[in-house]
Amino acid sequence: MEIITKIEDAKALSSKLKADNQKISLVPTMGKLHEGHLNLVKEGLKFGKVFVSIYVNPLQFGPSEDFNKYPRDIEGDIKKLKQLKADYIYMPDNSIIKGTDTFISNESLSDKLCGLHRTGHFKGVLTIVMKLLLIIKPDFAFFGLKDYQQYILIKKMIEDYFLDVKIIPVPTMREKCGLALSSRNSYFNENDKKQACNFYKVLNNTAKLFSDGENLAEKLRHYAIRELINNKFKVEYIEIMDKELLNKKVYAEKDDIILSAIKFSGVRLIDNIFLT
């Protein structure tokens, strides 16, 4: 496994692999890798040589967010990726964003859900992902569906700019209790983590209400909000939308998605579930 830090070295390596007719998979991460990240790497290995990028991107953090304390574990990440036999780790320094004056944004898809509560977040995400795609030039890029709004925005960016890369969505990996895996879960103590497991349980029970015949979106939302509050969660939002995130639904339908963000014990969590 090779570790690359310079943009020009990453570009040269990508060009060499392309010249040798090798397919390239990209797994963008901010590090502190958990089993969800590692599952993305495993999927990537099925498609080609894997670049795992590790970069805590300042552009996607607001001034009052947790950039400085965001969990980092470079030594642990390298060890995990070696065990998986990942091919390359790309760990750029801040030269990747230095002097950036041109940003990628999508106001229509960003100004809802998480975008309402994290001003500029998705502009930072799309900009760094575009940079990584242009540097690595992957054939495939892998994104987890826990960050569903992010996935939709990146997919639309790829379509809008005719980029020659296929985006592969990968289902959310969870703790046994249902809590979606996240690097920020490391902020919890044991008791708080146990309580946080109820987040997904509420979403799952709301989806079951739909399966049992309730299709009025407001009734489903009100049920979920009540249960989240009863579990001592601060609700940022909970919405039921079509799978392309174009419209909030009045009447929920099969294949719509429930999306929610909460805060608990100082930690912000997001999750979602499709209606079946």
Q: Which residues are catalytic?
A: 37
Q: Is 22 flagged in the annotation as binding?
A: no
The residue type of 158 is: I
Instruction: Give Cβ neighbours of residue 213 (< 8 Å, ≥ 6 apart).
Output: none
Instruction: Give Cβ neighbours of residue 187 (< 8 Å, ≥ 6 apart).
Output: 71, 265, 266, 267
Q: Is 9 flagged in the annotation as binding?
A: no
Residues in the chain: 276
The residue type of 97 is: I
Q: Is 34 flagged in the annotation as binding?
A: yes
Q: Is 209 flagged in the annotation as binding?
A: no
For the record, the structure tokens of 28 come out as: 């963008």
Q: Is 144 flagged in the annotation as binding?
A: yes
Q: Is 146 flagged in the annotation as binding?
A: yes
What angle (nearest 5°) sits at the alpha carbon of residue 110, between those of residues 106 and 113?
165
Q: Is 213 flagged in the annotation as binding?
A: no
Q: What is d(CA 12, CA 230) in angstroms, rounded to the nearest whole number? A: 55
Q: What is d(CA 197, CA 209) in angstroms, rounded to the nearest whole number? A: 19
Q: Is 147 flagged in the annotation as binding?
A: yes
Q: Is 182 flagged in the annotation as binding?
A: yes
Beta strands in 83-233 (DSSP E): 88-90, 140-144, 166-170
For the record, the structure tokens of 81 come out as: 């990726």
Instruction: Give Cβ neighbours of residue 154 (< 8 Å, ≥ 6 apart).
Output: 125, 126, 129, 141, 143, 167
Q: Is 32 flagged in the annotation as binding?
A: yes
Q: Is 44 flagged in the annotation as binding?
A: no
Q: Is 35 flagged in the annotation as binding?
A: yes
Q: First and final CA of the chain: distance in angstroms?
A: 42
For the record, the structure tokens of 269 come out as: 């969590």
Give the strand order in the sheet containing 49-54: 2-4, 88-90, 49-54, 24-29, 140-144, 166-170
Residue list for the binding site for beta-alanine? 60
Residue list for the binding site for ATP? 30-37, 144-147, 181-184
Residue list for the binding site for (R)-pantoate? 60, 150
Residue list for the binding site? 30-37, 60, 144-147, 150, 181-184
